[in-house]
């Protein structure tokens, strides 16, 4: 089974974000970058599917700067077979531009399955996976939390508001992974050593025109300090009144 | 649940590591957060080693990770190996001790002193955690002076007969194989000391758990008794000769301990800092008081120095320049630092600091053993004293 996993280099989710001097980007100094947490589910799923099929290839594809090779190597350390870096100085804010570059790489790859994380934790777009599917003319199922493949068909479960949706689709297909799809493995130490010897092909990303740009980046407003009204039952009426009129949570 | 550990790195020491070294550190760090920390308290209280974690530790490659890939090991450099020890001991000294013994005291001597056949027979199984090993050097009356040992190995027609007793043996009751050091000649001749690979199911071999430990409670510490234990010719590690052979194993283990103790210190500092920011006393966080700031500043200073020390030692080891004396300095310094950091962290935590919910007291109790084992702090002082002056204070 030939599987492509599209992964993104994102800041660690515990990063304390600082804004760069230009006001539109994050200050990357001292920031640790990781494989997108949802992308990790996609990588794990790809590895399990390849191994279950008794063979094939898992190709980890990332778009980004040279440093994204480290992101690809994390996937190789987990067990992916080879990597492709679509090189761009920075990852554009235009999800369609990214999807076009990925689609150009994926189109003639002969993949049975293309996996993404359901979203990138830095931009929250949820967009690149489905856009890539559209460009490739392939069926797309997003936020998959359970997957079965049989013959040329697949069944996926999606968690939706208040329930569960079961979707059937034909292969090849594009799927985006939700938390709970599996438990991503740690890169074993031998895998980390083996990753150094696996090939990563570097080529320019065919981004084309980018039509979306970030114009400002800001930090969330600081939370206001709390207030203690007093102690004991006698302050409860005042507390309820303020929760109604001021906090408006009741 | 505790927040994920992000490391302690004031001097950007992480930037001195290679990408693989950081990846190794992060794998072990994540595993400790997800798999070890959730179960360690219960095991510590019950006085049990978390044996159920051995298969996953093996799967991830934690055992003998600096030995070659051809024997099923990860083939890492010594800095990456040290980082494994650092992260494991941030979890618990007992679990790091397990990995140290398996890798540095069992796999290393088989690799260094064994035949190719012995290596092929034992190393892949030890790396895979299918066989657990222990190291029998210390005796009830011969701790700091192992050359005085009275365990003997006598040559027979087709092998050897071993007699004696060993004490303070990590993994002793769990092990399927023991590396036993014994005198093949006269009792006053330490140059006759040789190493033997002894399967623990050999008749005459007994192990008994040492009860009543208030430290390293999540670790198996046992006495070994060898009574007319008969082993074949192939039990002898042919490359071992004299006291320097087991001591070279200890140098490997001590190297890992220098990193490991640092990990415990980093964990204690991290916990103390978080606590100091959250705990409010007299209307402000205790972190706002100069006394606690002094504690934290001292901890961070010592941790930062210790980090640079072991990193350079690791680079030297990769170049074949980590002399036993250099390793002694690092073991002595870093374990001492870790003891101080754990103690100050415990004090900063106030009464909460004595609870198992916090790590400081467990680390503090563990580190008292680490201070004493693998060459006591005092012995390393004398090793350095001899190195500096050229005069031995203990011979």
pLDDT digit of tens for each residue in chain B (395 aa)?
467 899 999 999 999 999 999 999 999 999 999 999 999 999 999 999 999 999 999 999 999 999 999 999 999 999 999 999 999 999 999 999 999 999 999 999 999 999 999 999 999 999 999 999 999 999 999 999 999 999 999 999 999 999 999 999 999 999 999 999 999 999 999 999 999 999 999 999 999 999 999 999 999 999 999 999 999 999 999 999 999 999 999 999 999 999 999 999 999 999 999 999 999 999 999 999 999 999 999 999 999 999 999 999 999 999 999 999 999 999 999 999 999 999 999 999 999 999 999 999 999 999 999 999 999 999 999 999 999 999 999 87
Nearest by CB to residue A14, choosing from B6, B61, B74, is: B6
| Cβ atoms of B129 and B63 closer than 8 Å | yes
Cα separation of B221 and B209, whole Å? 6
SS3 A231: coil
Q: How far is CA B134 from the centre of its chain?
A: 12
Angle between helices B324-348 and B290-318 (to 10 degrees): 160
Strands A9-11 and A33-35: antiparallel
Q: Do A189 and B4 touch (CB under 8 A)?
A: no
Mean pLDDT of chain A: 94
Average pLDDT over residues A192-207: 96
Mutate to test the interface with A, among B3, B17, B20, B274 (most CBs of A within 10 A): B20
Residue from the list B23, B62, B75 with its beta carbon closest to the beta carbon of A187: B23
CATH architecture, domain B244-389: Up-down Bundle (1.20)
- Alpha-carbon distance values, B114 to A153, B118, B197, B330 (Å): 55, 6, 9, 28
pLDDT of residue B2: 60
Which of B7, B21, B23 has the most A C-beta neighbours within 10 Å, making it the best mutation to test the interface with A?
Answer: B23
Cα(A143)–Cα(B380) distance, rounded to whole angstroms? Answer: 58
B-contacting residues in A 30-89 (Cβ below 8 Å): 30, 70, 73-74, 77
Task: Tell me how far CA of residue B260 lies from CA of A17, B264, B366, in angstroms.
Answer: 31, 7, 12
Q: How many angstroms separate the CA atoms of A184 and A176, rounded?
A: 15
pLDDT at A113 exceeding the cut of 90: yes
Distance from CA of A186 to the nearest CA of B (A): 6
Is the domain spanning B13-127 CATH 1.10.540.10? The answer is: yes
B374 is a catalytic site residue: yes
Multiple choice CATH, A2-204, 3.90.920.10, 2.60.120.380, 3.40.190.170, 3.40.50.620: 3.40.50.620
Question: Residue A38 is encoded by which pair of tokens?
Answer: 């949802």
Q: Left if phi > 0, otherwise alpha if psi is -120 to 50, otherwise beta: which for A49?
A: alpha
For residue B73, what is the DSSP state?
S
Contact criterion met (CB below 8 Å) for A238 and A229: yes
Tell me the chain A residues in contact with residue B80 when contact means C-beta distances shorter than 8 Å. Answer: 189
Q: What is the pLDDT of residue B346?
A: 98
Please classify residue A237 by burial: count the beta carbons closer than 10 Å to its beta carbon, then call 0-12 exposed, 13-18 middle and 19+ buried: exposed
Instruction: State the pLDDT at residue B1.
Output: 46
**CA-based nearest residue in chain B for residue A74:** B23
The answer to whether residue B84 neighbours chain A at the CB level (below 8 Å) is yes
With contact defined as beta carbons under 8 Å apart, do B23 and A192 qualify? yes
Secondary structure, 3-state, B245-299: HHHHHHHHHHHHHHHHHHHHHHHHHHHHHHHHHHCEECCEEHHHCHHHHHHHHHH
Q: Locate the chain A residue with the closest alpha carbon to B56.
A: A188
Which pLDDT belongs to residue B273?
Answer: 98
pLDDT at site B92:
98
Evaluate the CA torsion angle B26, B31, B34, B36 in order and state its sign: negative
Average pLDDT over residues A220-248: 88
Question: CB–CB of A44/A184 below 8 Å?
Answer: yes
Chain B residues in contact with A74 by the CB 8 A cut-off are 23
Count of A–B CB contacts within 8 Å? 46
Query: What topology does CATH give the domain B133-235?
Result: Butyryl-CoA Dehydrogenase, subunit A; domain 2 (2.40.110)
| In contact, A38 and A118? CB cutoff 8 Å | yes
Catalytic one of B271, B374, B386, B395: B374
- Written as six digits, the tokens of B97 are 């001790």
Cα distances (angstroms) measured from residue B392 to each of A15, B16, B387 = 52, 37, 8
Would you put residue B159 in left (φ > 0), alpha (ψ -120 to 50) or beta? Answer: left
Structure token pair of residue B390: 């050229």
Name the nearest CA neighbour of B27 among B104, B78, B87. B87
Of B260, B253, B312, B336, the residue nearest B79 (C-alpha) = B312
CATH 1.20.140.10 range(s) for chain B read: 244-389
Classify residue B150 as left (phi > 0), alpha (psi -120 to 50) or beta.
Answer: alpha
Q: Is A125 exposed, middle or buried (0-12, 13-18, 19+ CB in 10 A)?
A: middle
Would you tell me how many other CB atoms lie within 10 Å of the CB of residue B30? 17
Strand partners, B195: B181
Q: Calculate how close chain B gets to A193, using CA atoms only, in Å.
A: 7
Residue A186: list chain B partners with CB under 8 A: 27, 30-31, 60
What pLDDT shows up at residue A173? 98
């Amino acid at each position: 089974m030939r599987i492509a996993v599209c992964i993104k280099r994102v800041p660690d989710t515990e990063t304390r974000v600082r804004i760069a001097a230009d006001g539109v980007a994050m200050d990357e100094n001292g920031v640790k970058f990781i494989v997108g947490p949802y992308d990790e589910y996609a990588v794990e799923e790809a590895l399990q599917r390849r191994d279950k099929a008794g063979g094939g290839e898992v190709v980890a594809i990332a778009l980004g700067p040279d440093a994204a090779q480290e992101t690809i190597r994390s996937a190789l350390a987990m067990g992916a077979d080879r990597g492709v870096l679509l090189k761009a100085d920075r990852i554009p804010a235009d999800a369609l531009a990214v999807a076009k570059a990925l689609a150009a790489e994926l189109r003639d790859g002969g993949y049975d399955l293309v996996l993404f994380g359901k979203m990138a934790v830095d931009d929250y777009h949820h967009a690149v996976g489905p856009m890539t599917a559209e460009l490739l003319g392939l069926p797309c199922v997003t936020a998959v939390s359970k997957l079965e493949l049989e013959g040329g068909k697949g069944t996926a479960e999606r968690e939706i508001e208040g329930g569960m949706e079961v979707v059937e689709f034909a292969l090849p297909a594009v799927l985006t992974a939700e938390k709970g799809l599996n438990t991503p493995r740690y890169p074993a130490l031998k895998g980390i050593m083996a990753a150094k010897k696996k090939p990563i092909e570097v080529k320019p990303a065919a981004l084309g025109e980018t039509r979306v740009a970030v114009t400002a980046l800001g930090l969330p407003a600081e939370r206001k300090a709390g207030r203690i009204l007093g102690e004991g039952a006698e302050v409860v009426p005042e507390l309820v009144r303020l929760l109604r009129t001021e906090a408006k949570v009741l | 649940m505790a927040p994920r550990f992000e490391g302690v790195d004031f001097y950007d020491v992480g930037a001195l590591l290679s990408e693989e070294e950081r990846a190794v550190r992060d794998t072990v760090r994540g595993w400790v957060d997800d798999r070890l920390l959730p179960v360690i308290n219960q095991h510590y209280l019950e006085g049990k080693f978390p044996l159920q974690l051995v298969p996953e530790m093996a799967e991830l490659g934690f055992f003998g990770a600096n030995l070659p890939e051809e024997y099923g090991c990860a083939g890492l450099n010594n800095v990456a190996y040290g980082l494994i020890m650092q992260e494991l001991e941030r979890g618990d000294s007992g679990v790091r001790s397990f990995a140290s013994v398996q890798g540095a005291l069992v796999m290393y001597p088989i690799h260094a002193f064994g035949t190719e056949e012995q290596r092929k027979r034992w190393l892949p199984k030890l790396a895979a955690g299918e066989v657990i090993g222990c190291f029998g050097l210390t005796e009830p009356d011969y701790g700091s002076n192992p050359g005085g040992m009275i365990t003997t190995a006598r040559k027979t027609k087709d092998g050897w007969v071993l007699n004696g007793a060993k004490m303070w043996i990590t993994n002793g009751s769990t092990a399927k194989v023991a590396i036993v050091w014994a005198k093949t000649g006269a009792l006053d001749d330490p140059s006759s000391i040789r190493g033997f690979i002894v399967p623990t199911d050999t008749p005459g071999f007994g192990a008994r758990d040492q009860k009543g430990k208030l430290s390293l409670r999540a670790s198996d510490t046992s006495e070994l008794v060898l009574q007319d234990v008969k082993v074949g010719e192939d039990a002898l590690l042919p490359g071992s000769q004299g006291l320097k052979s087991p001591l070279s194993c200890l140098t490997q283990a001590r190297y890992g301990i220098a990193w490991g103790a640092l990990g415990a210190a980093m964990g204690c500092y991290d916990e103390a800092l978080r606590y100091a920011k959250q705990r409010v006393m007299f209307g402000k966080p205790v972190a706002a008081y100069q006394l606690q700031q002094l504690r934290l500043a001292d901890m961070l200073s010592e941790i930062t120095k210790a980090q640079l020390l072991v990193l350079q030692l690791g680079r030297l080891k990769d170049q074949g320049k980590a002399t036993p004396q250099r390793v002694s300095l690092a073991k002595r310094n870093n374990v001492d630092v870790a003891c101080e950091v754990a103690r100050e962290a415990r004090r900063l935590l106030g009464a909460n600091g004595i609870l198992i919910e916090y790590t400081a007291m467990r680390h503090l109790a563990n580190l008292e053993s680490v201070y004493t084992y693998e060459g006591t702090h005092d012995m390393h002082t004398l090793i350095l004293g001899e190195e500096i002056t050229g005069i031995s204070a203990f011979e």
